[in-house]
């Protein structure tokens, strides 16, 4: 079945129940943190953003959506008993798999080294929607740490997000792959809003140059402008925190990277959501298919 057929079937068979519509406040912001290339710091950014949001009093759920090669648990130094694989296989429900991390962040860990998790089936996607929609707790934010690239899972988790943050570094290959990701999501799935976050830049001028090159390319070839979320400077404390299996924001709160991330997170909180115009599939009591479908 093609993607359109899958979405049509979701519309008719997985509509949220009235109970779930009453349970959730409907104001949760679902943000995918994604990248075209691995090694750009996407998972570190996702985890630290979740921690900083939680410290600001925002109830935050962090979903490790790299279903086959999970590493959020490694970064956080936690050893969860259950993970996304147990939920999608029907062994456990979602509330049993969610664990609490640093700063009160709730985390849904993924599995690692399970080949079949690298591409979720239609049934598994239905199950995930139902389980997330059935959570008892009201969240302000859900951050989705996707895998890198343009595989089916990456496309799916970007589709369920109302907002997409594309992470890129200053390397030319990172920029090329970020463009490829945006192109596929736009041309094949109709996603129109992207925000670029430049990581490991030496200064604002270098980061601004990365944004201008990518924005010029998307404008010229796709007629699609992208937003600039900001940049995170290169910081040697990042690798030190990873070795300690602690979050940078927790271990080195005064580091320059954390100061930049704090500024970006505060800006995210001030920003008005765009009414989920990106999202095709919806969580938490909203319609499964976009109103314009």
Q: What does 195-208 look like in DSSP terms, one character per residue?
A: EEEEEEESSHHHHH
In a domain, 91, yes or no: yes
pLDDT of residue 198: 98
Q: What is the per-residue pLDDT across 150-163, written as a single tens digit (0 to 9) for each?
A: 999 999 999 989 99
For residue 282, tell me if it sits in a domain. no
The pLDDT assigned to 284 comes to 53
Domain that holds residue 30: 3-270
pLDDT at 70: 72
CB 65 within 8 A of CB 199: no
Q: What single DSSP character describes residue 273?
A: P
CA–CA distances in Å: residue 205 to residues 42, 173, 202, 226, 242: 21, 19, 8, 18, 27
Q: With a cut of 50, list the residues of the chain below it in pLDDT.
A: 4, 7-8, 10-24, 275-276, 285-293
**283 within some domain:** no
CATH number of the structural domain spanning residue 259: 3.40.50.300
- Residue 17 belongs to some domain of the structure: yes
Residue among 85, 51, 7, 23 nearest 285 (CA): 23
- Between CA 22 and CA 285 the distance in angstroms is 8
pLDDT at 287: 40
Residue 275 is assigned to a structural domain of this protein: no
Residue 292 lies in a domain: no
**Considering the domain boundaries, does residue 288 fall inside one?**
no
Query: Considering its fold, how many domains does the chain have in total?
Result: 1
Q: Is residue 293 part of a domain?
A: no
């Amino acid at each position: 079945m093609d993607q359109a057929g899958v979405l049509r079937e979701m519309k008719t068979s997985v509509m949220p129940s009235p109970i779930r519509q009453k349970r959730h406040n409907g104001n949760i912001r679902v943000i995918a943190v994604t990248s075209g290339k691995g090694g750009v710091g996407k998972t570190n950014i996702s985890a630290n953003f979740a921690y900083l949001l939680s410290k600001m009093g925002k109830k935050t759920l962090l979903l490790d959506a790299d279903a086959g090669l999970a590493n959020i648990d490694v970064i956080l130094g936690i050893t969860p008993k259950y993970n996304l694989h147990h939920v999608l296989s029907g062994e456990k429900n979602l509330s049993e798999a969610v664990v609490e991390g640093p700063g009160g962040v709730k985390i849904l860990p993924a599995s690692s080294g399970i080949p079949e998790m690298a591409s979720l089936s239609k049934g598994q996607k239905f199950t995930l929607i139902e389980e997330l929609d059935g959570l008892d707790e009201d969240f302000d934010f859900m951050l989705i740490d996707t895998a890198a690239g343009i595989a089916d899972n990456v496309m799916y988790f970007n589709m369920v997000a109302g907002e997409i943050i594309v992470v890129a570094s200053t390397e030319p290959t990172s920029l090329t792959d970020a463009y490829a990701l945006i192109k596929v999501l736009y041309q094949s799935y109709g996603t129109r809003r992207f925000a670029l976050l430049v990581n490991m830049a030496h200064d604002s001028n270098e980061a601004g140059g990365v944004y201008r090159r990518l924005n010029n390319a998307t404008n010229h070839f796709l007629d699609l402008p992208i937003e600039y979320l900001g940049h995170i400077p290169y910081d040697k404390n990042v690798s030190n925190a990873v070795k300690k299996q602690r979050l940078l924001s927790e271990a080195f709160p005064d580091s320059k990277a954390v100061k930049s991330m704090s500024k970006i997170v505060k800006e995210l909180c001030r920003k008005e959501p765009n009414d989920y115009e990106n999202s095709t599939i919806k969580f938490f009591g909203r319609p499964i298919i976009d109103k314009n479908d």
